[in-house]
Structure 1
């Protein structure tokens, strides 16, 4: 018998179209009910419950009960990174579920990738931080420089609180639409939260899109200019 992680088991959990649709919906970072996920997958509530139970047992999801409802969310950041990577592979190979449209343009510009910023503005943020010397790539590890730490603090992010967390501070995540990395980790989450706190951006409640106001877009471009 071969030894090691059973990737076929995880791939089979993700590979079912209904389960894939539910997992994609949870990339918004929000916990959703069984009925909401059933609607996303286009299946009955009973069928959705069966799928969700399998993914919960398989370690892809976590759930909590509140009143009469059971809410599901992605189990960890690692699950989100795998899903985003698979989206990149699918898009690169031309496996798209529908033609691009207005909603897709919004998603390509800026969207939530499990509570950090993705899309064109997500990669712009990462590229600009890199170009300004705020983050550096050492091998495959993204690190925050001293200059970057000063900038992050001046931007109103509590860096000490982030450092105390067990989650990685900085991490690359392959962007499915841009085919380049954006910033993940606790710092990536903190930047998106800060943009929302400053009213630069808000999340579209009907999709994963992040909508920047004209003023927020201008401030974003000022602080995070295009490299070069």
Structure 2
């Protein structure tokens, strides 16, 4: 075996259909119980416990106890980003689930990707920030960052940049959107913007779902705030 990161172990953990369903259910960023995850995966509680143990041991999930209940969540944003990237790869290669329904267009329009916005509106926001010179590619690190003008823009939108930059998490990160197949904004700034949009009342997350409903007023305000030619 070659030295280096063991991607085979991660691939095996994610590759099981039941575990994949569990991980996708947690992409909403909300912690769920073993019973709820068993229902999402279509398996028994005993089987779910076995899968959850493996995901915990693999470092993909964390667990918190509250009273008699145990809640499970993705261990961090990098796990959510990895799942979104794999979903994008699956979509590009034609590996799609054949079952579609009324929720499919809504998922593509706007959804939560762990703790930030994904979908059509999220891609628009990323494109607008980049087109207006608020985001730039960092050639030395291969990532993205805010320009001086971009810092002023998000500060004017009441985002506390000092608090975000003081944290250990990257401020900006490009996350490949599985449905649009282009980038949306992740990182601590992506999460902060989603929080601000909710504070403004422009969007509302559906209960027990990753779907985000954007109001008519919210759509107008977001398009004004993030215009595209």
Q: Same fold (TM over 0.5)?
A: yes
- 1:205 corresponds to which residue? 207
1:164-203 equivalence runs, <5 A: 164-203=166-205
Taking structure 2 as the reference length, the TM-score comes to 0.97
Taking structure 1 as the reference length, the TM-score comes to 0.97
Moved over 2 A (4+): 98-101
Cα deviation 1:105-163 (Å, max 9, x = unaligned): 11100000011010001110100011111111123211101111111111011111101
- 2:149 corresponds to which residue? 147
Cα deviation 1:50-69 (Å, max 9, x = unaligned): 10000000000011111111
Query: Secondary structure at 1:97's aligned position in 2?
Result: coil
Cα deviation 1:79-98 (Å, max 9, x = unaligned): 11110011001111121123
Query: Secondary structure at 1:65's aligned position in 2?
Result: strand
1:57-206 equivalence runs, <5 A: 57-139=57-139, 140-206=142-208
- Residue 14 of structure 1: how far off its partner (Å): 0.4
- Residue 102 of structure 1: how far off its partner (Å): 1.8
* Number of equivalenced pairs: 227
- 1:224 corresponds to which residue? 226
Query: Secondary structure at 1:43's aligned position in 2?
Result: coil
Instruction: Compare 211-220 and 87-96 and name the one that shifted more.
Output: 87-96
Query: How many angstroms apart in 2 are the aligned matches of 1:97 and 1:68?
Result: 36
Query: How many angstroms apart in 2 are the aligned matches of 1:180 and 1:59?
Result: 28
Query: Secondary structure at 2:24's aligned position in 1?
Result: helix
Query: Secondary structure at 2:178's aligned position in 1?
Result: coil
CA RMSD of aligned residues (A): 0.9
